[in-house]
Amino acid sequence: MATAPLLDDLRAALGSDAVLTDPDLLRGYERDEADLCASATPLVVTRPRSTEEVVAVVRAAGRHGAPVVPQGARTGLAGAANAVDGAVVISTTAMDAILEIDPVSRIAVVQPGVVNAALTAAVGEHGLWYPPDPGSWESSTIGGNVATNAGGMCCVKYGVTTEYVLGLEVVLASGEVLRTGRRTAKGVAGYDLTRLFVGSEGTLGVITEVTVALRPAPAESLTLVAVFGSTTAAGEAVARIAAQGLSPSLLELLDRTHLVAIEAYRPMGLRTDAEALLLAAADTGPRAAADLAELAAVCEAAGAEEVYAASDAVEAAALLQARRLAHSAMEKYAADAYPGGNGGLIIDDLAVPRGALAALLDGVTRIAAECQVPVGVVGHAGDGNMHPNIVVDRADPVSLERGRRAFDEIMRLGLDLGGTCTGEHGVGLLKREWLAREIGPVGVRVHQAIKAALDPTGLLNPGKVL
């Protein structure tokens, strides 16, 4: 591929300021936050500001045979945004306009580069709320959230990103612009193409506009912490909460490894002697206190050693912040365990039926011991979506082999328990093999047929998902 004509075409369409070729800058666009996933330095990074400019980039790349890798804020944890050799990266972060907020229809229309927290703040001024809240919500973009079908802590009650995406504008591999979905509260016309693109990780098209559904802002939530002597008991509490029909707005689990890591990263008085901690919340307004008391009673019946309710919103926010610090704290934990920049994390993301959560947690403990590798578990216990964090020494082949074996054994356990290989992070590079095992050969062929129909030359995000 001759690079000069491609670069000339890109600069003519976008202007030189939106076409990056400096090697130092390009290195910053090589990968997302997934550790130990293959990546490469892209040929060029483009920063389009409109759908028309995305069309121009895709068509130029197609003419010159260059692969296209869409990127948001690169906060993903599965390698879905990792660049490949010779890639034209389309960074959508400059497309950051909130185009419309309609309080009557309870929708917002945004460009893909809008940061999740910025949308939440903007719609909050109208008494509305956008529920999906991934751990990276202060930096991740709506486009990236849609591309990976991101989840978050509120999903136990309010659902994942796909529940809130009403319509999309997508640039296809051909350069054509497709509009899917609707603005109405109801609508069943044709195939649900919107959901096809949600979670497709940039392999079927480049998202350039998103219409999202909003909800009335919930009442201020009340929060409690339940401390357990084992992760099994915490898992049993989650199953009992579900069985009794309770609907917490948040139900998170932190194991001892994470409690120790968070307390070392930012001391806040967490019980580092506890084997597991459940963080629960209720946002049901006048009923919140009663609902929280029911959650506390279930935790106590399941064997909680201590149940503590936050005294006010400030304390509740501090507890929530502890959960949000989990990823950063574990990165430091790994760095401290293996100095010299060698500490790494293989982050799993699987979901099992709520009734199987205790078995999953027991199994992770067993696998960690068998593989002789540290594993900390954190996650959205209320919907069975857990994130085992496997700590490895990047410089030690034995440690890496043990970590990868632990990852595979945990994935195998999750599928054996009736679960799925990813609850919210997506497939990316990390889980292609496990996706194939989960959906089977017919499922793989259907995926391949859809990809071939929409992207026959394999232009978009090659090597991801399948």
Residue spans of alpha helices (H) in 244-312: 256-265, 288-301
pLDDT value of position 445: 98
CA angle 403, 406, 410 (to 5 degrees): 140
pLDDT in tens, the chain (466 residues): 679 999 999 999 999 999 999 999 999 999 999 988 999 999 999 999 999 999 999 999 999 999 999 999 999 999 999 999 999 999 999 999 999 999 999 999 999 999 999 999 999 999 999 999 998 999 999 999 999 999 999 999 999 999 999 999 999 999 999 999 999 999 999 999 999 999 999 999 999 999 999 999 999 899 999 999 999 999 999 999 999 999 999 999 999 999 999 999 999 999 999 999 999 999 998 999 999 999 999 999 999 999 999 878 888 888 888 899 999 999 999 999 999 989 999 999 999 999 999 999 999 999 999 999 999 999 999 999 999 999 999 999 999 999 999 999 999 999 999 999 999 999 999 999 999 999 999 999 999 999 999 999 999 999 999 9
DSSP character for 180?
A: E
Contact yes or no for 257/215 (Cβ under 8 A) = no
Taking the C-alpha atoms of residue 54 and residue 60, their distance in angstroms, rounded to an integer, is 10
Extract the tokens encoding 246. Answer: 């309770």
Whose CA is closest to 154, among 382, 306, 330? 382
Residues linked to residue 206 through DSSP beta bridges, in sequence order: 171
Place of tokens 């997508």: 170
For residue 320, give every residue at least 6 positions away whose Cβ sits within 8 Å of its Cβ, in sequence order, or none. 153, 223, 250, 279, 281
Contact yes or no for 51/171 (Cβ under 8 A) = yes
Contact yes or no for 333/390 (Cβ under 8 A) = no
Amino acid at 81: A
Extract the tokens encoding 129. Answer: 């709320």
Taking the C-alpha atoms of residue 56 and residue 12, their distance in angstroms, rounded to an integer, is 10
- Residue 402: Cβ-neighbour burial (10 angstroms; 0-12, 13-18, 19+): buried
Whose CA is closest to 195, among 220, 232, 170? 170
Residue spans of alpha helices (H) in 198-307: 231-243, 256-265, 288-301
Contact yes or no for 19/52 (Cβ under 8 A) = no
pLDDT value of position 319: 86
Residues in the chain: 466
Contact yes or no for 148/112 (Cβ under 8 A) = no
Rounded to the nearest 5°, which phi and psi values hold at 260? -65, -45
pLDDT value of position 1: 66
Taking the C-alpha atoms of residue 89 and residue 178, their distance in angstroms, rounded to an integer, is 21
Neighbours of 247 (CB within 10 A): 16
Residues linked to residue 165 through DSSP beta bridges, in sequence order: 212
pTM here is 0.95
The helix-helix angle for 231-243 and 288-301 (nearest 10°) equals 130
Taking the C-alpha atoms of residue 219 and residue 101, their distance in angstroms, rounded to an integer, is 21
3-state secondary structure of 255: strand
Taking the C-alpha atoms of residue 391 and residue 374, their distance in angstroms, rounded to an integer, is 5
Extract the tokens encoding 333. Answer: 């934990």
DSSP character for 31?
A: -
First to last CA, the chain: 25
Taking the C-alpha atoms of residue 120 and residue 58, their distance in angstroms, rounded to an integer, is 31
pLDDT value of position 421: 97
3-state secondary structure of 220: coil
The helix-helix angle for 3-14 and 51-64 (nearest 10°) equals 170
DSSP character for 347?
A: E
Query: What is the torsional sign of CA 433, 434, 440, 444?
Result: negative
